[in-house]
Every structure is written in C-alpha cells, then in structure tokens.
Amino acid sequence: MKKRSQRLAGVSFAAGIAVTLFLCGLLTWFLCGTLWILLLHRLLELHIVFAIVNSGLKP
C-alpha cells in the first residue's frame, strides 16, 4: 500500500511539473507573439510614415 501511494505521489508530482512547464511555455509564447505583433505593427507604421514623407518631398 505504501509503495502504491509513493508511486501516486510521484505521478502527481510529475504531472504537476508537466502542467507548470506547459503553462509557462504557453505564457512565454503568448507574450513573445504579442511583442512581435506590436513590433511589426510599429515598423509598418514607420514605413508608412516614411513613404508619405518621401512622396511629399518629391516635386
């Protein structure tokens, strides 16, 4: 009986670690994805502004 409860504790511990790692990975992926989208959006805005300025400067 003791061996079974030890194994159960080990399995639940491993499952807890797996779930924690999965959630951390998901959070990291979400944050990195959001940052990349914001960065790309900012670069696109700058590109549009430069295009407008350049077209305005040309006679």
Mean pLDDT, contiguous 10-residue spans, the chain (59 residues): 82 94 94 91 89 78
* Whole-number pLDDT of residue 1: 65
The one-letter code for the residue type at 6 is: Q
Question: What local confidence, expressed as pLDDT, does residue 59 receive?
Answer: 58
Helix, strand, coil percentages, rounded to 5, for the chain: 95, 0, 5
Residue with tokens 């639940």: 12
pLDDT in the model for residue 5 = 85
The pTM (predicted TM-score) of the whole model is 0.55
Name the burial class of residue 17, with classes exposed (0-12), middle (13-18) and buried (19+) by CB atoms within 10 angstroms of its CB: exposed
**Cα dihedral sign, 2-7-12-13:** positive
pLDDT at 58: 65
Count of structural domains within the chain: 1
Specify the pLDDT at position 30. Answer: 92
**38: domain range?**
1-58
